[in-house]
Chain A
Amino acid sequence: MTGGQEGPGQDRPDQDSAARDSAARDQAARGHEQPAAGRGFSRRQLARHATWFGAAVALTVVGGEVTRHVVNDDHGDAATAGVAAAPDLRFVQISDSHLGFHGTANPDVTTSFQRAINQVNALPYRPDFVLHTGDISHLSTPAQFDQAKQMMSGLRTGMVYTVPGEHDSVDDGGRQYLATFGAGTRGQGWYSFDVRGVHFISLVNTFALEALGHLGTDQIDFVRKDVAGLSSDTPIVVFSHIPLFAMYPKWGWGTDDSATVLALLKRFSSVTCLNGHVHQLFTKREGNVTFHSATTTAYPLPHPGQAPAPTPQTLPPGKLAGALGIREVAYHPGNPALTVTDTRLA
Chain B
Amino acid sequence: MPAGARASDPAAQAPVSGTTVDIRNFAFSPANLTVRVGTTVAWTNRDADAHTVVSTNGPLHSPTLNTGDTYKYTFAKAGSYSYLCSIHPFMVGTVVVTA
User: Which A positions have Cβ atoms within 8 angstroms of B?
Assistant: 101-104, 138-139, 166-167, 169-171, 208-212, 250-252, 308-312
Contacts and interface: CB of A to CB of B under 8 A. Distances in A.
Contacts of A101: 49
Contact of B64 (A102, A170, A212): A170
A23 B18 CA distance: 59
A310 B90 contact: yes
Interface stretch (B4-12, B36-44, B81-89): B81-89
A135 to B, nearest CB: 10
Contacts of A211: 84, 89-90, 92
23 contacts: A102-B48, A103-B48, A104-B48, A139-B50, A139-B64, A166-B86, A166-B87, A170-B52, A170-B87, A171-B64, A210-B56, A210-B84, A211-B90, A211-B92, A250-B90, A252-B89, A308-B25, A309-B25, A309-B27, A309-B90, A309-B91, A311-B25, A312-B49
Given A101-B49, A309-B90, 19 more contacts: A103-B49, A104-B48, A139-B50, A139-B64, A166-B86, A167-B87, A170-B50, A170-B52, A170-B86, A171-B86, A210-B56, A211-B89, A211-B92, A252-B90, A308-B27, A309-B26, A309-B88, A311-B26, A312-B49
Contacts of B2: none
Contacts of B89: 166, 209-212, 252
A216 B48 CA distance: 33
Contacts of B91: 309
Contacts of A210: 56, 84, 89
Nearest to B65: A171
B29 to A, nearest CB: 12
Q: How large is the interface on B (under 10, 10 to 19, 20 to 34, 35 or more residues)?
A: 10 to 19
Contacts of B92: 211
Interface of B: 25-27, 48-50, 52, 56, 63-64, 84, 86-92
A171 B64 CA distance: 7
Contacts of A104: 48
B14 to A, nearest CB: 19
B90 to A, nearest CB: 5
Contacts of B49: 101, 103, 312
A139 B87 contact: yes
A75 to B, nearest CB: 45
Contacts of A310: 26, 88, 90
A101 B90 CA distance: 18
A41 B88 CA distance: 50
Contacts of A250: 90
Contacts of B90: 211, 250-252, 309-310
A105 B25 CA distance: 14
A212 B92 CA distance: 12
A145 to B, nearest CB: 14
Contacts of B26: 309-311
A210 B27 CA distance: 16
Contacts of A103: 48-49
Nearest to B55: A210
Contacts of B64: 139, 170-171
A211 B92 CA distance: 8
Contacts of B25: 308-309, 311
A171 B48 contact: no
B7 to A, nearest CB: 24
Smallest CB-CB A-B distances: 9 pairs: A252-B90, A309-B26, A311-B26, A251-B90, A252-B89, A210-B56, A171-B64, A170-B87, A103-B48
